[in-house]
Amino acid sequence: MKRCLIVDDSSVIRKVAKRILAGPEMLVAEAASAQEALNICAQELPEIIMADGSLPDMRSDELIARLMAIDPETKPHILLCLSAVDVGQIMRAKRAGAKGYLLKPFTRTQLLESFRELAAA
């Protein structure tokens, strides 16, 4: 079973994403802050992480770099979730280790397609 972590300070975004992704093949956890995400990942690093681009406690590129450094052998697939296209932020996130990005609000189809692309990467 694959494990996924949704990191977003919006409980609505976390709940919608969890409802779309959770199922017999995917276990989905939630974190409301970067620090909470780091604590969860220190215990068990999920294969896929969807990280909000505007968390209140840490820049997204810093969070991504710290997540990628937790276990050098196991690199999670990280998807940056943004409210608007910000090329600078996307490039910083990709340099830190993100595999792609998704715009909010997303549809079920958009989220599932982003996860399929991550799985193929």
Q: For residue 55, report the phi and psi dihedrals to the nearest 5 degrees.
A: -80, 145
Read off the tokens for 34. Answer: 């970067």
pTM score above 0.75:
yes
Q: What is the pLDDT of residues 49-106, one digit of tens each?
A: 999 999 999 999 999 999 999 998 888 999 999 999 999 999 999 999 999 999 999 9
Q: For residue 28, report the phi and psi dihedrals to the nearest 5 degrees.
A: -115, 125
Q: Which among 44, 45, 46, 41 has a CA at the least distance from the CA of 21?
A: 46
Q: Which among 31, 1, 8 has a CA at the least distance from the CA of 111?
A: 8
Q: Which residues contact 47 (CB under 8 A, 6 or more apart)?
A: 2, 3, 4, 76, 77
Highest mean predicted confidence (pLDDT) among 7-21, 65-79, 107-121 = 7-21
Give the pLDDT band of residue 117 (cuts 50, 70, 90): confident
Domain 2-120 has CATH 3.40.50.2300: yes
